[in-house]
Chains A and B, each alone.
Chain A
Amino acid sequence: MSIDTSKVATSNSSAAVAKKPGRAGVVANWADERLGLATAMKKNLRKVFPDHWSFMLGEIALWSFVVLLLSGVFLTLWFNPSMGEIHYEGSYDQLRGVAMSEAYASSLELSFDVRGGLLMRQMHHWAAMLFIASMMIHLLRVFFTGAHRKPREMNWVIGCLLLILGTLEGFTGYSLPDDLLSGTGVRAADGFMKSIPVIGTYMSFFLFGGEFPGDAIIPRLYTIHILLIPGLLLALIAAHMLLLVYHKHTQWPGPGRTEQNVVGFPMLPVYAAKAGGFFFIVFGVSALMGGLLTINPVWKFGPYDPTKVTAGSQPDWYMGWPDGALRIMPGWESEFWGTTWSWNVFLPIIVLPGLMFTILLLLPFLEAWITGDKREHHLLQRPRNAPTRTALMVALMTFYGLMWAAGGNDIIAIKLHLSINQITYFMRAAVFLGPVLAFMITRRWCISLQRQDNEKLLHGYETGVIMRSPEGGYSERHLPIDTAKAYALTARDRDEASYVPVGTGGGTDANGIPAPVGRMSGLRGKLQTLWFADNVQKPTAAELEEAHHHAEHEAHELEGVSTDGHQLDGHHAVADEPLRRDH
């Protein structure tokens, strides 16, 4: 390169200039003599963090949690978590004189009589949406790229706990204002609890301090919302970050990036600046949303009244999928010996979410058990390179999506002019068939993408240039992809080599000891076979050699063509360039 690097910017070249210890030095010395900071920070200040856009998803979750803490504390200064009845006398005309709880009245006060109060309420609610949505997408990123594998399983578990706690935190939060919409949600929650066999009625009476609605639920939800769950979230987030630092972040494979190293920018300054800057961006976006986009206009719903309901009552979107399950469930109920089993409520709203959450929590362990893979993994996988895993998650997503859509069956019915009965019957079948279909399609799709990758490696990429052979046949000109790209494509494990077949009759484990053949290991062997079935492996060195040899031969035949690949790679206009040079 002909760049004059003698003049490079100071930040990129000059060594740190030793200065006399100034005031900062004195303070640092004071602190270090007491806290030993230098030793603690020595390694971490320049800790390496790899860069990729998808690594920001977790960061959005982290920063929106900070925004929630800040805006939440502001709200507590005015919000009054009491169900005591008062007559509203604030600025909002339409409700003046109406009897309501103090909780609802103080939400109105925050909205209409505290400057910036509505901004903070809306920021808080939007940040909650960001928090939960980014956690979900972050979880998908982790799973699709295989970042949940050893040694990071515990961080997966913590992440799942964060997601469920975040959801509960959101539910308790939007129940606080005690408006008609949220009261309807609490009413439903009472029905959910009562459906639990044996203890349900007691749970309801203990939570509500007697019969629904009582006067205890809002203060109790308040304690849960501002103390209990935030405390748990904070502790879990701290554990999540500590483990992240300990394991060091995963990275995408590429030239110089291996299982043994981590390549990227140092914590100080680049990563700290980018992450810190990103905090301000998340904060700023929440503020803009809070200022410009109405969310949860509680004043329009009115105070909670058990005899009233707003048409099209919908919970916050993240509670939508169990609501969908609840809607499409047939109305089954049985009575035995004077007891009532409300299958129609208990199964979709208590059992199903519990089951789904357990499956989510166990996914890394399930996968490791099936594949028998006990190695540490620090290089990410492209989703296509783990077709069964990818398909499994897409199937789960499809299930989630269909349930979520079922939660809006009334809206779909109105918008599409369909009968709600037809939608319900359709959904009942779709939630079972859809995931299976999605699984099969995704798996095949991944495998064909794997083939395409191998094509690229073996025969290069399609240039779009059509050649005519002397015999009159047409063919497309392929050019080899560059080494860095090719290397990245091949930097993945071969599936067969990565696991030890277990229990498939006379197999041996890693130590050469015959593997036990039991019923479980038989099942496991079958699952293992299915897990890897039809996966496409990267070419061997010999295959690549052979293919390149062939390509050279072909190139030879087309002698005379401009062989500067870049002319043909589609990034340059070739229209005016003579393809054949005149000899």
Chain B
Amino acid sequence: MTDARDHESHENDPHEGESSQNLPDNPAGSAGAVPESAEPIADPGLPAHAWRPADVDPAHEKRAERQVAGMFGLSAVCVILFLVAYFTLDIGDDHDTVGGLGASTVALGTTFGLALLLIGIGIIQWARKLMGDHEISELRHPARSSDDDRKATLAALNAGLEESGIGRRPLVRNSLLGAVGLLGLPAVVLLRDLGPLPGDVEDDQEYPGAGLERTVWTKGMRVVRDVVGTPIRAADLEIGDLVNAVPEAFFEVDEEGEHLIEGIELQIAKSKAAVIVVRMEPDEIIPGDGRDNWSVDGVLCYSKICTHVGCPISLYERTTHHVLCPCHQSTFDLADSARVVFGPAARPLPQLPLAVDDEGYLVATSDFLEPVGPSYWERG
């Protein structure tokens, strides 16, 4: 940005004396296109420079100097206090001694913040009280280059292009353009392994329930309580109860006591297989088409994953049988196949068909019959 045209700028030398300082560059103060005669008031020019107390009164000057140095000194004290706090205050064990934060955090933040603030305020005070405060004026130039510069640049550009022969040799030019253009392909193709294709995940079944259209639920898998993993009998539930549940597979262990599904696979499985189990008066249920025997004694099971963008739904109102998603307040009527009664979700929560096993525990009779969670293009 060092522009040759800047040389014209007539920055006033602050040592030239007052009078030249305040001459306006353009006494008419016109604004470009508007003819000057139309201006109702002529530009009075820059106001005279006013001396500050610290400029003319040595006592003032000294006081300002002491103020500024004092702030820098205090800042240094704060840094020392910071060091003391760092080495003396414990963290970890007492992390909420002061207003929910640890004494260490509070002390470090306060001393560090004050040390910085005092330097900042000190410098600004110095600038305001003690540094020269003559306003100076510089000329502006249009952002565009001068016509001469444009001409010279164009000439140079043309000379360069001419010498390269790029215009005369279309074969070279076009084959180069083509070759460089094709380099875009590796750049895109190289990203291919960022992730598997949705269909491949489904086909490969590298972990239980892989794929957007599947979950770990299978025929006969018990519905167990979240966290503790105990199986549920219909009779365990009161009318109006809602429990969070998961497939029993989450708690299955092999001979060595290792969980069969764990880590990331567990997280993926949870994000699709989590369910809610509710019990209501059987005659309050409006069974959906073909869902007549999906419930057991008024016990229904639905996906816990909101069909809007996938938050786990949570708030249940037993009198209306409505569940509410806390993220964007979509509301579903569990008595009526989890129809959307309010909010931005477009689809009902998928329902998991229930039965009881020999021991009377709730089990799924199959996986969900439709994909759970947010809609997606291929869902259909």
- CB-CB under 8 A from A261, the residues of chain B are 25-26, 137-140
Q: Find chain A residues with CB under 8 A from B126 CB.
A: 273, 277
**Cβ of B171 < 8 Å from any Cβ of A?**
no
- Whether the pair B268, A281 counts as a contact (CB closer than 8 A) is no
Counting CB contacts under 8 A, is B181 at the interface? no
Q: Does A511 contact B (CB under 8 A)?
A: no
Please measure, in the bound complex, the distance between the C-alpha atom of A114 and the C-alpha atom of B92, giving whole angstroms.
8
B314 pairs with A311, CB closer than 8 A: yes
Chain B residue with Cβ nearest A67: B116
Instruction: Report the minimal beta-carbon distance from B376 to chain A, rounded to whole angstroms.
Output: 4
Give residues of chain A (73-112) contacting chain B, Cβ–Cβ below 8 Å. 83-85, 90-92, 111-112
Q: Given known contacts A277-B123, A285-B113, A306-B271, is B345 in contact with A331 (CB within 8 Å)?
A: yes
Q: Verify A259–B140 contact, CB threshold 8 A.
A: yes
Contact A287 B112 (CB under 8 A): yes
Which A residues from 333 to 353 make CB contacts under 8 A with B?
A: 333, 335, 338-340, 342, 344-345, 348
Q: Are A490 and B314 in contact (CB under 8 A)?
A: no
Q: Are B1 and A294 in contact (CB under 8 A)?
A: no
**In B230-282, which residues have CB < 8 Å from any A CB?**
244, 246, 262-264, 267-268, 270-271, 274
Q: Which residues of A contact B3 (CB under 8 A)?
A: 43, 246
A273 touches B131 (CB 8 A): yes
Shortest A510–chain B CB gap in Å is 10
- Taking the complex as formed, is B194 at the interface, i.e. its CB lies under 8 A from any CB of chain A? yes
CB distance from A349 to the nearest CB of B (A): 8
Q: Using known A-B contacts A91-B95, A312-B326, A345-B308, determine if residue A497 contacts B43 with beta carbons closer than 8 Å.
A: no
A340 touches B195 (CB 8 A): no
Chain A residues whose CB sits within 8 angstroms of the CB of B123 once the complex forms? 273-274, 276-277, 280
Task: Determine the distance from Cα of A192 to Cα of B102 in the docked complex, in whole angstroms.
Answer: 38
Please, which residues of chain A bring their CB within 8 A of the CB of B305? 306
- Indicate the member of A90, A201, A242 with the most B CB atoms within 10 Å: A201
Q: How far is the CB of B251 from chain A (nearest CB, A)?
A: 14
**A276: nearest chain-B partner, CB-CB:** B123
Q: Mark B119-138, 1 if CB is under 8 A from A, else 0.
A: 11111101100111111111
CB pair A92–B25 under 8 Å, yes or no, is no
Flag if A291 contacts B109 (CB, 8 Å).
yes
Chief secondary structure at chain B's binding surface: loop
Closest residue of A by beta carbon distance from B58: A7
Minimum Cβ distance to chain B for residue A252 (Å): 13
Assess the A258–B29 pair: CB atoms within 8 A: yes
User: Which residues of B (283-319) have their CB < 8 Å from a CB of A?
Assistant: 304-305, 308-312, 314-315
Min CB distance A88 to B, Å, is: 13
Interface string of B44-57 (1 = CB under 8 A from A): 11111011001110
Contact indicator B108/A205 (Cβ below 8 Å): no
| A91 touches which of B25, B93, B108, B274 (Cβ 8 Å) | B93
A194 at the interface (CB under 8 A from B): yes
Chain B residues with CB under 8 Å of A541's CB are 37-40
Give which listed residue, B48, B105, B379, contacts A118 with CB less than 8 A: B105
- Whether B196 contacts A210 by the Cβ 8 Å rule is yes
CA A212 to CA B41, docked complex, whole Å: 68
Chain B CB within 10 Å — which of A13, A246, A306, A541 has the most? A306
Question: CB-CB < 8 A to A122: which residues of B?
Answer: 105, 109
Contacts of A215 in B (CB 8 A): 263-264
Residues of B contacting A498 in the complex (Cβ-Cβ under 8 angstroms): 33-34
A307-B312 contact given A273-B124, A457-B40, CB 8 Å threshold? yes
Chain B residues with CB under 8 A of A151: 142-144
In angstroms, how far is the closest chain B Cβ from the Cβ of A249?
10
A283 vs B109: C-alpha distance when bound (angstroms): 11
Contacts of B86 in A (CB 8 A): 115-116
Considering only CB atoms, which chain A residue lies closest to B90 in the complex? Answer: A115
From the candidates B132, B210, B312, name the one contacting A308 in the complex (CB within 8 A).
Answer: B312
B140 touching A3, Cβ below 8 Å? no
- Interface 1/0s, chain A 202-241, versus B by CB < 8 A? 1011111111111110000000000000000000000000
| Contacting residues, chain B, for A262 (C-beta < 8 A) | 137-138, 140
Enumerate chain B residues within 8 angstroms of A340, measured Cβ to Cβ: 375-380
Residues of B within 8 A of A111 (CB): 95
B133 pairs with A264, CB closer than 8 A: no
CB–CB A260/B140 < 8 A: yes
Stretch among A25-33, A374-382, A471-479 lining the B interface: A374-382
Which of the segments B155-163, B216-224, B327-335, B350-358 contacts the partner chain? B327-335
> Are A287 and B116 touching (Cβ within 8 A)?
yes
Asked if A421 CB lies within 8 Å of chain B CBs, one says yes
A521 vs B305: C-alpha distance when bound (angstroms): 53
Quick check: B2 and A43 within 8 Å, CB to CB? yes
Give the chain A neighbours of B116 by CB distance below 8 A: 280-281, 283-284, 287
| A194 contacts B31, C-beta separation under 8 Å | no
Whether B135 and A487, one on each chain, are in contact in the complex, defined by CB atoms closer than 8 angstroms, is no
Residue of chain B at shortest CB distance from A458:
B40
- Complex-state Cα separation, A123 to B108, whole angstroms: 12
- B residues 1-43 touching A (CB-CB < 8 Å): 1-3, 6, 9, 11, 14-15, 22, 24-26, 29-34, 37-43
Instruction: List chain A residues, Cβ under 8 A from B342.
Output: 420-421, 424
Contact of B191 among A8, A206, A483, A484 (CB under 8 A): A206
Query: Contacting A327 at CB < 8 Å: which of B54, B201, B329?
Result: B329
| Closest Cβ neighbor of B139 among chain A residues | A261
Distance in Å from the Cβ of A51 to the closest Cβ of chain B?
8
With an 8 Å Cβ cutoff, the count of chain B residues facing the other chain is 132
Which chain B residues lie closer than 8 Å to A274 at the CB level?
Answer: 123-124, 127
User: Which chain A residues border B14 with CB–CB below 8 Å?
Assistant: 12
CB interface residues, B 331-352, toward A, < 8 Å: 340, 342-347
How many A-B residue contacts, CB cutoff 8 Å?
444
Complex-state Cα separation, A539 to B6, whole angstroms = 36
With A85-B262, A113-B92 as known contacts, state yes or no: A284 contacts B380, CB within 8 Å: no
Chain A stretch 522-557: residues in CB contact (< 8 A) with chain B: 538-541, 543-544
Which segment of A169-177, A183-191, A444-452 sits at the interface? Answer: A183-191
Chain A residues near B44 (CB-CB < 8 A) = 255-256, 483-484, 487
Contact A284 B326 (CB under 8 A): no
Q: Is the CB of A258 within 8 A of B25?
A: yes
Which residues does chain A contribute within 8 Å of B101, judged by CB atoms? 118, 291-292, 294
| Chain A nearest CB, measured from B214 CB (Å) | 10
* A378 smallest CB distance to B (angstroms): 6
One of B56, B110, B270 near A288 (C-beta < 8 A): B110
Assembly CA distance A342 to B41 (angstroms): 61
The residues of B that contact A487 with a CB separation of less than 8 Å are 29, 41-44
Task: Give the shortest distance, in Å, between A210 (CB) and chain B (any CB).
Answer: 5
Does A309 sit at the interface, judged by CB under 8 A? yes
B46 and A256 contacting across the interface, CB-CB below 8 Å: yes
Q: Decide if A255 touches B55 in the complex (CB within 8 Å).
A: no
Chain B residue at minimal CB-CB distance from A263 = B137
B95 touches A284 (CB 8 A): no
Task: Tell me whether A263 and B135 are in contact (CB under 8 A).
Answer: yes
Pick from B45, B131, B195, B263: contact of A85, CB below 8 A: B263
| List of B residues within 8 angstroms of A493 by Cβ | 31-34
Which among A192, A263, A409 has the greatest number of chain B C-beta atoms within 10 A? A263
Chain A 296-340 residues near chain B, CB threshold 8 A: 297, 304-313, 323, 326-333, 335, 338-340
Whether B375 pairs with A342 at a CB distance below 8 angstroms is: yes
* Residue B84 interfacial (CB < 8 Å): no
Max chain A Cβ within 10 angstroms of own Cβ: one of B46, B92, B344: B344
Residue on B nearest A282 in the bound complex, by CB: B120
CB of B374 closer than 8 Å to a CB of A: yes
Output the least CB separation between B366 and chain A (Å): 21
Is A418 part of the binding interface, using a Cβ–Cβ cutoff of 8 Å?
no
Q: Show 17 A/B contacts (Cβ-Cβ < 8 Å), sorted by A.
A: A3-B56, A91-B95, A112-B91, A151-B143, A190-B374, A194-B375, A205-B197, A205-B201, A207-B194, A213-B268, A255-B45, A283-B120, A285-B113, A309-B314, A486-B41, A538-B40, A544-B41
In the complex, given contacts A261-B139, A340-B379, what are 9 additional A-B residue pairs having Cβ atoms less than 8 angstroms apart? A1-B48, A184-B327, A204-B376, A212-B271, A259-B32, A288-B117, A292-B109, A331-B345, A543-B40
